[in-house]
Amino acid sequence: MSRNADQDEQVSGIEWLTPIEFPTRTGQNIDISLRKTTNAEDCYVRKPGGTDVMTTNANIEGVTIHSSSDFVSCRITIGPMDESLLGDWALCGKRADNNGEQDRCQLVRISWNNIANPATQWTTTNRPKFDYAVNYGGVLSPTVVGSGNRISCHIITPKGEDLVIESDSDYPHLKLVPTGSSTCSVAIGPIDASLLGDWTLYGKFRAVKRAVLNEVRLPMNLFLYDEENPYSQAYNVTVRDLIRRIVNLGSTLNVEVTSTGKVDSCQCKTPSGDTFDLDSHSYEGASFVNVAGSIACRLEIGPFTEELLGNWTIIGKFSNNNYFTELQQTFQLSEEDPRNPIIDADRTVTNLNEQRVDSYIGDSQRLIINTGSKIVAESCHISTPGGLQYAISEGFNVPGVEVIEENGVECGVIVHVLSKDAIGTWTLIARAARKGVPIERRLPFTINVRGTVLSYVD
């Protein structure tokens, strides 16, 4: 005769953990486990119907017995799932020294998610794998968010143990984080060597409307931020895409990385491989500069010589409450060869409507590309009728061309029509980013000169 949990607690003094609801489908495997304790335990399984079987028998149909580990004293896998394995199962642990303490039992209620079609798959969202830099002694609390109310919160350990994390499960180094009903969050830590490796956090949720089951999974890799100093504060590292800049020799340029919170440190790696930081004496030709109230690592480079061209990397470390972020940004700084300009193949090119004007020697013409919504300007260039292309920056010097610096103008020049060299098609080029996507806008501008002047310039 089977008994319920309340009867067992009254009669035999069993400590029942929070029951776990397990909606399932055909072919699925289900893990049940009990947390590791300091005392050795004998494990037994209570099958649907109330029969208790010791796991030492190791011959329970549909059940795989697993040995204890750093996380569990008792663990079984039920499946692959079919009709005969549905019902209320319990995994229990009894003190091996039989000192009279309560047995503890984890009840799991297994039922079809879709009774009409037990093989039906539910929606599973797989998040991209996330690499977490960690340090010994730290705590990591990853989170997934589903649709509707949480049914259960799971974490799969590097050894493949699928653990359901409840408020009273109390696995070593693993705690359920109290959050909203549509989230699953588990605190992992304090971090030590046993917790490094590949994990998966996932939650099962039941949508409020139509009661549809959905699952969200987050694969993770936990690795030491600094293997030589494992207790050093870990920063989650983001390596940003390379940024290309064209500079003129003799000019100076400011480049930076920005974040939120506060600046912990700034470091720079130069084209020669040397490194320096905020506390170092300035490197010849470059130094970190004052940013006033900005949360940034800002580097001033120049005046440029050929030795200063190449890849510069700024490494900024920032903290905001308990979030620690390291941003690595590399800037490729080059001098543009007017006869062989650099082509940035990663950019989306927009050719603006060509403009044509009739002019005369001594006249001046304005070429302008205005600033745009959600556009972050990067660089400006001008291509001459002779096919030469120049970067418009400090040190720019093209005879007869004046740079426009006005509000609302992203790139602009005034072409003074002083000779036949000004006649023909110019192209003004504005390189920028729109919502993080590199773009290039090109404005062709043709200057015609008529009459006797045309005869002269021919």
Based on the structure, what is the number of domains in the chain? 4
Number of CB atoms found within 10 A of residue 172's CB: 14
Residue among 216, 224, 215 nearest 140 (CA): 224
pLDDT-based confidence at 373, cuts 50/70/90? confident
Residue 302 sits in the same domain as residue 355: no
Which of these three, 173, 191, 224, is where a domain ends? Answer: 224
Q: Which pTM does this prediction carry?
A: 0.71
Task: Report the amino acid identity of residue 419.
Answer: S
Residue 155 sits in the same domain as residue 208: yes
232: in domain: no
The torsion angles phi and psi of 453, rounded to 5 degrees, stand at: -65, -40
Residue 449 sits in the same domain as residue 358: yes
Which of these three, 224, 247, 266, is where a domain ends? Answer: 224
Specify whether the backbone of 157 is left (phi greater than 0), alpha (psi in -120 to 50) or beta.
beta
* pLDDT at position 4: 47
Residue 154 sits in the same domain as residue 249: no
* pLDDT at position 38: 83
229: in domain: no
341: in domain: no
Residue 354 sits in the same domain as residue 318: no
247 half-sphere exposure, CB direction, 13 A CA radius: 26
Mean pLDDT of the chain: 90
Residue 352 sits in the same domain as residue 453: yes
CATH number of the domain to which 61 belongs: 2.60.40.10
The Cα 45–Cα 300 span in angstroms is 69
Residue 305 sits in the same domain as residue 362: no
295: in domain: yes
448, 451, 457, 458: CA torsion to nearest 10: 100
Query: What mean pLDDT do residues 7-36 have?
Result: 84
Which tens digits make up the pLDDT trace of 264-290? 999 999 999 999 998 876 688 999 998
CA distances (Å), origin 140, targets 146, 201, 234, 236, 260: 20, 12, 11, 11, 20
Which of these three, 77, 112, 147, is where a domain ends? Answer: 112
| Strands of 143-235, DSSP E | 143-145, 149-156, 162-164, 174-176, 183-188, 197-206, 213-224
Residue 210 sits in the same domain as residue 245: no
**DSSP labels for 279-319?**
TSPPBTTEEE---TT--EEEEEE-S--GGG-EEEEEEEEEE
Q: Counting beta carbons within 10 angstroms of the beta carbon of residue 90, is it exposed (0 to 12), middle (13 to 18) or buried (19 or more)?
A: buried
343: in domain: no
Query: What mean pLDDT do residues 163-184 have?
Result: 92
Query: What mean pLDDT do residues 393-414 have?
Result: 92
pLDDT-based confidence at 336, cuts 50/70/90? confident
Residue 31 sits in the same domain as residue 96: yes
Residue 127 sits in the same domain as residue 203: yes
What's the first-to-final CA gap in the chain, in angstroms?
A: 111
The Cα 340–Cα 333 span in angstroms is 16
Residue 130 sits in the same domain as residue 180: yes
The torsion angles phi and psi of 111, rounded to 5 degrees, stand at: -145, 160
79: in domain: yes
Q: What b/e string do you get for 343-355 counting C-beta neighbours within 10 Å, with b at 16 or more?
A: eeeebeeeeeeeb
The Cα 365–Cα 359 span in angstroms is 8
Question: Is the pLDDT reported for residue 31 higher than 90?
Answer: yes
Q: Which domain range does residue 260 map to?
A: 238-335
63: in domain: yes
Residue 254 sits in the same domain as residue 309: yes
Query: What mean pLDDT do residues 129-139 have?
Result: 94
